């Protein structure tokens, strides 16, 4: 920038004061000469100096304002950068490495946007963390950084760089949220770029004018900028404060007065100084006294020479001189204005001079370009006119604070001549020049700065949005070791999902042992894995349950840097729960299958046992009948028979469990059945157990065997009694329910449907999970030997399952037990049972007896022959067909149903072909569901179930022979046989 004087330059500021008296010149000549020499000249000199003082003062003020403005802007830039979160992260020893590259780019961008030649980030120990790429940092830079770090305040500095020469630094501390200084951002600028040219520029209208910046260093003044006669002065030229001759000492003491002294060249000068906040430097300006007083001296000579003429024409001259003085003063002012304008024009910002009312008095070139308007048009405006439409109030308010407080800074929107607008930052100051007050406004178009700041902020925001937008939780942690063992870790950075997934808050900077107490003992695996990842650097994925949070995590961990790891995780608790439910269902199913298998085994044994018992009891009874009444062996035989009977009971229970007993199914009202059994049950439980009974009156009917239901109820009540040795409440309830969805139950599941429920609930000791798992198995008991058989619940299980029902149990140790028997509800009632009760008499008819088990066959034959029947025996179907092929009548076919080879049904079919009138009675030890596998429906056949006793066999045979309708034809039933 070069000075652009607009008005004619003038060095002449002559002052010629009025003389003394117009008349009696001769008389006053001497006194006038004396006055001239001793009074007039010194006064003129002082006045000249005062004029220079004002002149230098205005120049110094302007420069100070522009420099202060420049420093503050540069510091504001450094502060903006210091405030970015990534800068703070980069200073964190842990997060640093991730953020550093990002920060280096950020510094690069920033330095570019500022026209600085570099920028650096220092850590708190003044070691460099990041810097723009081609910046060489050396000791001087570190020293400057240390000063900022020590003071914790932003600072302007300058130091001598070995390669770059003097460098200007603008530093701002980086502070953590709690105000602790963590580092410093330093922006490097070359003073040669703007500062020095601004200073060394020759003062307009002054030949010997010079400005410099000095700093105080102990008792010395160090010159920071080039001097006209010593270009290498910056930071190398120093003198004792008072000896510099620049008035530096006075400036540092706050004095702004202009005073004559001798400068570094040994020449007398007029100087003035200004403190230069925010720096600690002073701006000093001087002009050679010779130049300053040149006009004064010339004038003095001239004045002396013309003193005579002056005296001669005193009165005339008084007016003439007065007039001239006025003119010259105007000229001086014009000259001052010209210099002032030149300075303004050199600035980077638009600079306005205004009167206190806000009217523009002057504007620099830059203002013309900024507002797209020529100076003349600008000077017709006032401050309010520069503002964007609708903001004139703002202008008035700003003007008012400015006049009141002397300075202000405003950010607003200004308008160009073409109507377009731009963001403007205005720094204004009120200055007093003599009696008049003026306003100086420095306007900067901050469009570009805003754009750069926005760009940097957006890049920062994008990075953060990406991180925080992740659905997975991310935690960046540093591992802490005890020797080789991972002992703890610190959360350095976490994203937003971290909080949502774990429910943890404010974890950054804290140890996990503090965030989740007990985690190290709860999850040693977690520590081991993270430790491995942090030390080997190999990524690992795993699942882990954290009991303290009650959360299952699926985690992928990797290590961005040795000793650190990043965990990316998801909360999979819901999925785990679903898996557990699935396992439980599978376990129940397995349990049901086990019961089924045990049932088949028990049933198979019991079935064969039954046949044997039938024989034992049959022969025993026959033997007893043959003994004399007083025979001593009668008693022994009775014992045998009693044992056989008990054995029969046991097998019946086993058969019940394996669902192989023959049931007399009928439509039952469970409420009635249970009600009838109540009296018997009360006897069973003793006095301490309080039995309550309730049955919903409209609970529907179920299809079941009455005796079996009673049996089941009894078994449950006995168990409840055993569970409450000291007594307690026992509730039996019957009610109806509609299971809408499948319910879990002992047997693997209760499908949706309508059920009548028989519930038995006690408040006894309850069962452990373990006991409950085995309770329904035959021979499982927790009771002492002799007290429990372990068949109670297995019988209940068989009875309920055979009736198409289901069992649900709720039990827990100490909380009592509730058994619920679910029977499907049926609609129909049964026809009243046939009253027939055939007598137990014999007959003379011929019976064909077919039975593969020889002992049963022999027993039945003996019983029937004893009653007078003619019995033909056969061990199987073929033998029977052979016997029937012969002549003679056969009145009844008594045949086992399930036989090896030809079964009973098939045999019947074939025989009916030979002898159409034949009556049939089947025998079987299998229940109806087995028979149906042979295509036979148990309830539709005349069936004698094994084991039978003598009386029953006789009665059923007689019934069969006497039955109306004669022959039986299974085909009529739609049977396949």
How far is Cα 875 from Cα 851, in angstroms, rounded to an integer?
5
CB of 794 to ligand ADP, least distance (A): 6
Choose the stretch contacting Mg ion; rule: CB under 5 A; options: 98-106, 772-780, 790-798, 919-927: 790-798
> Under the criterion CB under 6 A, does residue 761 sit at the interface with ligand ADP?
no
370 binds, among ligand ADP, Mg ion, none (CB under 5 to 8 A by kind): none
762 binds, among Mg ion, ligand ADP, none (CB under 5 to 8 A by kind): ligand ADP
CB of 715 to Mg ion, least distance (A): 6
Choose the stretch contacting ligand ADP; rule: CB under 6 A; options: 280-288, 524-532, 631-639, 784-792: 784-792
Choose the stretch contacting ligand ADP; rule: CB under 6 A; options: 536-544, 762-770, 834-842, 875-883: 762-770
Cite the DSSP H helix spans in 778-892.
792-802, 854-866, 877-885
Q: Cα torsion at 143, 149, 153, 159 (round to 10°)?
A: 10
Q: Which helix (H) or strand (E) holds 833?
A: none
DSSP secondary structure, 233-245, as one string: -TTT-EEEGGGGS
499 binds, among ligand ADP, Mg ion, none (CB under 5 to 8 A by kind): none
- Using the rule CB under 6 A, which residue among 183, 599, 792, 925 binds ligand ADP? 792
Choose the stretch contacting Mg ion; rule: CB under 5 A; options: 472-480, 596-604, 711-719, 966-974: 711-719
727 binds, among ligand ADP, Mg ion, none (CB under 5 to 8 A by kind): none
Q: 């007029």: which residue's tokens?
A: 270
Closer Cβ to Mg ion, 350 or 793, answer by number:
793
> Under the criterion CB under 6 A, does residue 106 sit at the interface with ligand ADP?
no
Question: Which residue's CB atom is positioned nearest to ligand ADP?
Answer: 792
How far is Cα 538 from Cα 557, in angstroms, rounded to an integer?
9
- Using the rule CB under 6 A, which residue among 788, 804, 842, 935 binds ligand ADP? 788
Beta strands in 367-484 (DSSP E): 407-415, 421-433, 436-445, 473-482
Under a CB-based contact definition with an 8 Å cutoff, are residues 506 and 487 in contact? no
Q: 């306007």: which residue's tokens?
A: 443
> Under the criterion CB under 6 A, does residue 817 sit at the interface with ligand ADP?
yes
Question: Which residue's CB atom is positioned nearest to Mg ion?
Answer: 792
Closer Cβ to ligand ADP, 464 or 682, answer by number:
682
Q: At what angle do helices 573-626 and 633-657 cross, to 10 degrees?
A: 160
CB of 884 to ligand ADP, least distance (A): 48
How far is Cα 161 from Cα 138, in angstroms, rounded to an integer?
8
> Under the criterion CB under 5 A, does residue 719 sit at the interface with Mg ion?
yes
495 binds, among ligand ADP, Mg ion, none (CB under 5 to 8 A by kind): none
- Using the rule CB under 6 A, which residue among 523, 781, 903, 908 binds ligand ADP? 781
CB of 641 to Mg ion, least distance (A): 26
Closer Cβ to Mg ion, 107 or 775, answer by number:
775
51 binds, among ligand ADP, Mg ion, none (CB under 5 to 8 A by kind): none
- Using the rule CB under 5 A, which residue among 273, 792, 928, 970 binds Mg ion? 792
DSSP secondary structure, 100-131, as one string: HHHHHHHHHHHHHHHT-SEEEEEETTS-EEEE
794 binds, among ligand ADP, Mg ion, none (CB under 5 to 8 A by kind): ligand ADP
- Using the rule CB under 6 A, which residue among 764, 805, 928, 970 binds ligand ADP? 764
Closer Cβ to Mg ion, 575 or 783, answer by number:
783
Q: At what angle do helices 41-82 and 96-114 cross, to 10 degrees?
A: 140
Q: For residue 277, how far is the Cα from the chain centroid?
A: 48
Dihedral class, residue 173 (left if φ above 0, else alpha if ψ from -120 to 50, else beta): beta
Q: What is the bridge-based pairing of β-strands 485-494 and 259-262?
A: unpaired
How far is Cα 547 from Cα 43, in angstroms, rounded to an integer?
96
- Using the rule CB under 6 A, which residue among 775, 848, 912, 930 binds ligand ADP? 775
Binders of ligand ADP in range 714-743 (CB under 6 A): 715, 719-720, 723
Choose the stretch contacting ligand ADP; rule: CB under 6 A; options: 295-303, 455-463, 492-500, 773-781: 773-781
DSSP secondary structure, 502-567, as one string: H---S-TTSBHHHHSTTHHHH-HHHHHHHHHHHHH---EEEEEEETTTTEEEEEEEE-SSTTEEEE
Under a CB-based contact definition with an 8 Å cutoff, are residues 566 and 559 in contact? yes
10 binds, among Mg ion, ligand ADP, none (CB under 5 to 8 A by kind): none
Closer Cβ to ligand ADP, 500 or 692, answer by number:
692
Q: 């109507």: which residue's tokens?
A: 419
Closer Cβ to ligand ADP, 271 or 794, answer by number:
794
Other Cβ atoms closer than 10 A to 92: 20
CB of 812 to ligand ADP, least distance (A): 10
Please compute Rg for the chain using Cα positions.
60
Cite the DSSP H helix spans in 811-895.
854-866, 877-885
Residue 687-716 contact track with ligand ADP, rule CB under 6 A, x = bound? ----------------------------x-
Closer Cβ to Mg ion, 672 or 680, answer by number:
680
CB of 784 to Mg ion, least distance (A): 13
775 binds, among ligand ADP, Mg ion, none (CB under 5 to 8 A by kind): ligand ADP
Binders of ligand ADP in range 73-102 (CB under 6 A): none
- Using the rule CB under 6 A, which residue among 535, 782, 937, 940 binds ligand ADP? 782
Other Cβ atoms closer than 10 A to 614: 23
**CA nearest to 111, candidates 170, 71, 154:** 170
CB of 761 to ligand ADP, least distance (A): 9
How far is Cα 961 from Cα 893, in angstroms, rounded to an integer?
10
Measured in degrees and rounded to the nearest 5, phi and psi for residue 279 equal -80, 175
Closer Cβ to Mg ion, 792 or 925, answer by number:
792
CB of 818 to ligand ADP, least distance (A): 9
Closer Cβ to Mg ion, 792 or 816, answer by number:
792
Q: Which SS3 state, helix, strand or coil, does residue 362 take?
A: strand
- Contact residues for 725 (Cβ-Cβ < 8 A; gap 6+): none
> Under the criterion CB under 6 A, does residue 765 sit at the interface with ligand ADP?
yes
**Cis preceding linkage at 62, omega within 30:** no
**Tokens linked to 792:** 């109670």
Under a CB-based contact definition with an 8 Å cutoff, are residues 494 and 452 in contact? no
Q: 């992260």: which residue's tokens?
A: 89
**Cis preceding linkage at 798, omega within 30:** no
> Under the criterion CB under 6 A, does residue 649 sit at the interface with ligand ADP?
no
Q: How many residues bind Mg ion (CB under 5 A)?
A: 2
Closer Cβ to ligand ADP, 10 or 771, answer by number:
771
CB of 816 to ligand ADP, least distance (A): 8
CB of 592 to ligand ADP, least distance (A): 17
Closer Cβ to ligand ADP, 712 or 892, answer by number:
712
- Using the rule CB under 6 A, which residue among 767, 856, 920, 930 binds ligand ADP? 767
DSSP secondary structure, 158-224, as one string: EEEETTTEEEEEEEEEEE-TTS-EEEEEEEEE-TTTTHHHHHHSPPTT-SS-EEEEEEEETTEEEE-
783 binds, among ligand ADP, Mg ion, none (CB under 5 to 8 A by kind): ligand ADP
How far is Cα 835 from Cα 863, in angstroms, rounded to an integer?
26
764 binds, among Mg ion, ligand ADP, none (CB under 5 to 8 A by kind): ligand ADP
Q: Which SS3 state, helix, strand or coil, does residue 437 take?
A: strand
- Contacts with Mg ion, residue ranges (CB under 5 A): 719, 792
- Contacts with ligand ADP, residue ranges (CB under 6 A): 715, 719-720, 723, 762, 764-767, 771, 775, 780-783, 788-790, 792-794, 817
């Amino acid at each position: 920038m070069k000075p652009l004087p607009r008005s004619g330059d003038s060095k002449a500021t002559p002052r010629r004061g009025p003389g003394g008296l117009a008349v009696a010149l001769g008389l006053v000549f001497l006194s006038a000469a004396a006055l001239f020499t001793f009074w007039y000249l010194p006064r003129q000199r002082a006045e000249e100096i005062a004029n220079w003082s004002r002149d230098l003062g205005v120049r110094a003020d302007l420069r100070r304002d522009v420099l202060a403005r420049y420093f503050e802007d540069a510091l504001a830039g450094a502060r903006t950068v210091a405030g970015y979160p990534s800068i703070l992260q980069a200073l964190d020893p842990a997060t640093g490495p991730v953020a550093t590259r990002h920060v280096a780019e950020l510094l690069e961008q920033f330095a570019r946007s500022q026209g600085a030649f570099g920028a650096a980030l220092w850590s708190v120990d003044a070691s460099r963390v990041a810097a723009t790429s081609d910046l060489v940092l050396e000791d001087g830079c570190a020293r400057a950084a240390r000063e900022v770090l020590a003071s914790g305040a932003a600072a302007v500095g300058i130091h001598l760089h070995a390669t770059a020469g003097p460098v200007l630094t603008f530093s701002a501390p980086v502070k953590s949220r709690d105000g602790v200084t963590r580092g410093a951002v330093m922006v490097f600028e070359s003073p040669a770029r703007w500062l020095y040219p601004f200073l060394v520029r020759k003062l307009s209208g002054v030949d010997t004018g010079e400005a410099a910046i000095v700093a105080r260093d102990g008792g010395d003044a160090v010159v920071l900028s080039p001097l006209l006669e010593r270009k290498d002065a910056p930071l190398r030229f120093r003198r004792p404060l008072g000896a510099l001759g620049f008035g530096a000492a006075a400036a540092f003491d706050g004095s702004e007065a202009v005073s004559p002294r001798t400068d570094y060249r040994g020449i007398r000068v007029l100087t003035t100084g200004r403190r230069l906040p925010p720096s600690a430097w002073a701006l000093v300006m001087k002009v050679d006294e010779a130049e300053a007083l040149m006009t004064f001296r010339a004038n003095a000579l001239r004045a002396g020479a013309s003193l005579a003429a002056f005296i001669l024409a005193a009165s005339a001259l008084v007016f003439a001189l007065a007039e001239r003085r006025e003119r010259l003063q105007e000229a001086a002012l014009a000259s001052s204005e010209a210099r002032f304008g030149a300075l303004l024009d050199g600035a980077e910002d638009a600079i306005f001079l205004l009167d206190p009312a806000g009217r523009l008095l002057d504007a620099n070139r830059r203002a013309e370009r900024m507002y797209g308007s020529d100076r003349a048009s600008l000077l017709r405006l006032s401050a309010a006119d520069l503002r964007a439409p609708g903001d004139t109030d703002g202008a008035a308010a700003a003007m008012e604070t400015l006049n009141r407080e002397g300075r202000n800074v405003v950010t607003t929107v200004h308008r160009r001549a073409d109507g377009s607008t731009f963001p403007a930052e205005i720094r204004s100051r009120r200055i007093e020049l003599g009696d008049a007050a003026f306003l100086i406004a420095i306007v900067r178009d901050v469009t570009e700065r805003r754009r750069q700041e926005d760009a940097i902020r957006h890049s920062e925001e994008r990075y953060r949005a990406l991180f925080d937008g992740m659905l997975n939780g991310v935690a960046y942690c540093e591992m802490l070791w005890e020797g080789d063992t991972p002992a703890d870790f610190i959360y350095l950075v976490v994203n937003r999902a971290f909080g949502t997934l774990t429910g943890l808050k404010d974890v950054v900077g804290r140890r996990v042992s503090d965030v989740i107490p007990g985690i190290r003992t709860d999850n040693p695996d977690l520590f081991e894995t993270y430790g491995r990842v942090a030390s080997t650097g190999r990524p690992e994925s795993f699942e882990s349950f954290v009991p303290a949070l009650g959360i299952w995590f699926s985690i992928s961990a990797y290590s961005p840097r040795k000793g650190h790891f990043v965990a990316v995780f998801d909360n999979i608790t819901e999925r785990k729960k679903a898996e557990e439910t699935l396992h439980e269902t599978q376990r129940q199913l397995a349990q049901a299958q086990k019961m089924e298998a045990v049932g088949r085994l028990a049933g198979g044994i019991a079935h064969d046992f039954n046949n044997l018992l039938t024989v034992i009891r049959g022969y025993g009874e026959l033997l007893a009948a043959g003994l004399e009444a007083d025979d001593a062996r009668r008693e022994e035989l009775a014992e045998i028979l009693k044992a056989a009977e008990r054995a029969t009971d046991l097998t019946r229970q086993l058969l019940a469990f394996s669902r192989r007993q023959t049931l007399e199914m009928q439509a039952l009202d469970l409420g009635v059945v249970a009600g009838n059994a109540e009296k018997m049950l009360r006897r069973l439980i003793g006095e301490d157990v309080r039995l309550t009974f309730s049955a919903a009156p409209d609970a529907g009917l179920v299809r079941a065997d009455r005796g079996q239901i009673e049996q089941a109820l009894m078994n449950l009540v006995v168990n409840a009694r055993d569970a409450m040795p000291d007594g307690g409440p026992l509730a039996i309830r019957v009610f109806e329910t509609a299971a809408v969805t499948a319910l879990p139950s002992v047997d693997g599941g209760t499908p949706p449907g309508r059920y009548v429920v028989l519930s038995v609930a006690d408040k006894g000791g309850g069962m452990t999970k373990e006991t409950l798992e085995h309770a329904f198995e035959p021979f499982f008991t927790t009771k002492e030997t002799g007290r429990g058989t372990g068949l109670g619940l297995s019988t209940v299980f068989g009875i309920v399952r055979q009736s198409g029902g289901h069992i649900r149990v709720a039990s827990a140790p100490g909380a009592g037990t509730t058994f619920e028997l679910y029977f499907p509800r049926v609609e129909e009632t049964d026809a009243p049972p046939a009253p027939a009760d055939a007598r137990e008499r014999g007959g003379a008819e011929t019976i064909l007896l077919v039975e593969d088990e020889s002992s049963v066959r022999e027993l039945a034959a003996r019983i029937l022959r004893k009653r007078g029947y003619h019995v033909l025996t056969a061990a199987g179907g073929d033998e029977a067909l052979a016997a029937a092929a012969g002549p003679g009548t056969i009145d009844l076919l008594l045949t086992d149903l399930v036989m090896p080879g030809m079964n009973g049904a098939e045999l019947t079919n074939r025989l009916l072909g030979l002898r159409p009138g034949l009556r049939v009675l089947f025998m079987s030890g299998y229940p109806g569901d087995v028979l149906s596998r042979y295509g036979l429906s148990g309830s539709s056949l005349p069936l004698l179930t094994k084991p039978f006793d003598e009386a029953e066999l006789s009665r059923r045979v007689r019934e069969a022979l006497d039955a109306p309708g004669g022959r039986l034809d299974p085909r009529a039933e739609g049977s396949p046989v």
